Amino acid sequence: MYRAEWCQFLKFLDGVCKQLIKTAMFWQNTDFSGNPLIQK
């Protein structure tokens, strides 16, 4: 692989990881209907 392609691939992976983290955080803070959980 050329370095430019490798950099693009790493950026892509980084974006995917960030999206997964956002999704996980969202689901941790909501119930299955998508309503925010009340934090006590």
Question: pLDDT of the chain along its 40 residues, tens only?
Answer: 589 999 999 999 999 999 999 888 877 777 666 676 665 5
Question: What is the per-residue pLDDT for 34?
Answer: 63
What is the chain's alpha carbon radius of gyration, rounded to the nearest angstrom? Answer: 16
Question: What is the per-residue pLDDT for 24?
Answer: 86
Question: What is the per-residue pLDDT for 7?
Answer: 93
What separation, in Å, do the N-terminal and C-terminal C-alpha atoms of the chain show? 51
- Bridge partners (DSSP) listed for residue 30: 36
